[in-house]
Structure 1
Amino acid sequence: MMQTPRMVCGDPFGEVGQKSRKKSQSETARLAPLPPSATRFPPPSRGRAAEGGRGSEIPLTRIRRIAACCSFVLLSLVMAPDLEAQTLNITPTTLPEGIVGVFYCQIVQVDPGTFTPPLIWTATNLPSGLSISSQSIGQCQVQGQNQARISGTPTTATPPSGVSVTVTVVDSRIIPAPRMGSRTYTLRINPPLSITTASLPATAVGLSYSQTLAATGGRGSYAWSIASGNLPPGLMLNPSNGAIAGTPSTANTFNFRVRVTDQASPPQSAEKDFSITVSPPLTITTASPLPSGISGSFYSQSFAASGGAGSFTWSVAPGSSLPAGLNLSPGGVLSGTAGAAGNFNFSIRVTDSIQTVTKQFALSIGPPLSTLSLVGIPDAVDPAQQLGFGLFLSSPHPNALSGTLSLTFVSNAVIPSDDPVVGFSTGSRSVNFTIPANSTTVVLPPQLLLLTGRVSGTIGLTASIQNGPQSIPLRSTTVRSTTPRITNVSVARIQGGLRVVIDGFSPERRLSNVEYGFNVRTSSGMQRINLPRGVSSEFENWYRSAVSTPFGSAFSLEQTFSVQGDSSGLESVVVTLTNGQGSTASNATAIPAN
């Protein structure tokens, strides 16, 4: 309710005003409305009007003062407080989430008909990039005087719990007072939509697979799809939760692109490339039983596996134990010095990055090996020999065995050098063999021969038994240093003379002298002409050069001769070579006729 202010309109400057203050409220009220005659003011030269009479003439200046007093009464009535002022109701009651980098638009409003336009809108603590305004902008349209927009492109994400934003509105009513309202919201600005899963693990054919893709940012729930490429056969993508699950059926590497879409308006999408490698099933490929071992000897056996994903880690299966003295490394090597003889069974498992498989193995550890002997190779041999031989155990072994026969060569020539010819007839210096169970005969490659080569030195022969004794000495034989060997002499006539070529070898890798004996038919009979020549320097240079090493001690010596006069009498030539062991002469080689 309004209360009328206690004030009386009167004449504060004269008698009329003073008496008016003493009159009753009803009498005083008669001063407010002036009769029409009072508006016709006499000239100011006339004196005062009769005091207090109805229709009395009042001086103009006094009338103005009375009017001023009545204006004050009216102003006081206008400015009196409105105890029934209304509060404006702001809707909606909540604000939707926004996304960094995505234009945001939300209309706020008050109820129509409850305000005096225009409205003044303000907001506190809006995230960076957002503002409030009653004016339309682009795609964010304000439809009436009761609305405003909160809009813009957010530049920074809020905490997950959001920030507190207070929106306030004031209308333009003056009498009795402006209306106003406010509402506090929680506003969340999410990061941009992105797929956060870094990569997908590998798997193997036949294994159950389940991996859930993850995303962050955006607005609302997510929908997942394959944008390009293909998942491995047997796997599927759940569009609602991003789970890739199933059992792959084909080994390969599969590349694909995943898309995630949120519930923003318009929807936002993000994409990312992935690959899944599907390996063949993990399998232990080492056969059982394992190669047998020999008690007291070092044993070593590597396990192998195929398929799977990543590197392998090997271990003894729980509840299983290895033979005494043996251990299994994480790399899959079973090794150690075998203990007591016996037959053993145990299980080995291998683990890759995604699975574990187990396999059972049998291993027999036999008694110590009996004496192994080589027969057919004498203590000393000549160069360029091909020798057969045999290998035997002094007593049979209960387990089948395998091994390697090896040889070494050490030259004792004047100018030492290896001889590639020294070796087995297979073309190598080692061959494999087997020994059947309960047998004394070693099975070697068929028609195996030992080649002694063409350089003097010592050949050593040893045998190693797989998972048994190693480098067992069998035989050492010496390749003798002999006189030079001539393998071929050829003679050809050339312009004005002859060319003689000698092929041979000198086991000590030294040659000091060559002598050519020509048989000439004369009228008095056959005559021998000997032409010696020292060749020490030439052959030393040859044998010291690296070029000679592949040939051992072999050489090819060419010599030309000039012939003056009639050469038709030259019938043959005999070549003699000399080294530190002595001389060797060739058979007579015929000289071609002219």
Structure 2
Amino acid sequence: MTTNVVHYTNNGDGALSDTFIVQDDSGNDITYNVTIQASTSPITVLPSILTNPAVGVSYSQTLTASGGVVPYTYSISSGSLPAGLTLSSTGVISGTSTYTGPASVTIGVHDSTTPTALTTTKSYSFTVPPPVLVISPTTQPAGTVSIPYSQQLNGSGGTSPYSYTLQTVTGKGLPPGLNLASTGVISGTPTTAGTYTASIVIVDSTTGSGPYPVPFDVSITINATPVVVVSPSTLSAGTVGALYNAPSLTLSASGGTGPYTFALTAGALPAGMTLTSAGVLSGTPTAGGSFNFTVRATDQNAVPGSRAYTLSINAPAMTITPPILPASTVGVAYTSQSVSANGGTAPYTYAITSGSLPTGMTLSSSGALSGTPTSGGSFNFTVTATDSSTGSGPYTSARAYTLTANAPTIALSPPTLPTMTVGTAVSQIITATGGISSYTYSVSSGTLPPGLTLSSSGALSGTPTVAGHTISPSLLPTVQPAAVRISARAPIR
């Protein structure tokens, strides 16, 4: 018996089956059906399975390959990863899934063998579970009746953006006056105090089996409107030109939630004073009288409270200095002397309101006394200072003065007269200083030598006729007058 062997070689066309016929020794056809197995790659891809991603959670998984020539290149050959995940050419699957439900992907891998790269594929299946959605906080900050309210709900655990709706549930709901926007903002102006629980549904943007609506109970407490009280109830009086309640007065508030801010809402403070947002009332008033104004305190929840005040600012106690004035002298300039006021609001103006200054002197509006007296004696006058206060001002203060103008000291020149000779004409001019010109000259005691005269203008002239004793070594006759007093008199104006 003869045994025949059939040999088969696949042509490599990629077909997974083939059929051929041969004849036996008797001429009968024998049909062969061949199943062709896919070629086996030497490349192995790990891991064999992948962990499931979670919606909204960062995911990263690195694939590795062996059995070929590095480096390897990875790509998706069929199926798809869950939405939000990507595959890099180096084999890293990463991202944040926005998809829930099942997903399958086949990843192709080829190595660096030349001239023909070795390839393989690796299939993976995922099941992405539904996300756990959360609204926070479930207890919202408290509100206050009649005070605008606005709070943002925060969603997490799924895929943003989130939308929010109010679910109708018997016995539940938002406080009257509040509404819920689809963006999660609870806002409005509460009208009724109490604690309220609302059923709010959060919906995320997950695809696949999503999105997932989840209800949560959110509670809000609305407090009654507090009564904010401003203190003190009254204000102490101030004085023009004096620091108020030195160094300052701080208003306070109670009944609300601090800190408070303060503001002037009606009327006006005295000129020179201010009120800070912290409630500090300070300054130096420059206006007198009664001032009506209203202060409002607002707490951190915007709850206001007001108080009306009347602040009295008294007239200043003004004084003028110096108490006395130094004496002046006729014919001598009076300088470096002024009067000044204090106790009111600068600047001050000064004026003589009764009496008069010595002739030749003046008082400026700034208080400077100056000039050269031309008359002597005692002069009585009153200086009045006027300040710059407003309101019930300006205010004045007066002081009476007596200013003495002393007589001048007049000196004659020359102090001695030259020797004169009988029969020789004499002409000598006598001058005066220290008073007010012009001067009048006269002999006030004794007599001139015979033949000489003194004019009222101070000219000594004439020819001596009587000789006295000889005092010169040359025995020339000389005239030595008897004791004579010549005086000069300044005019009195």
**TM-score between both structures, scaled by the size of structure 2:** 0.33
Higher strand share: 2
TM-score (norm 1): 0.29
- Determine which structure has the larger helix proportion and give its number: 1
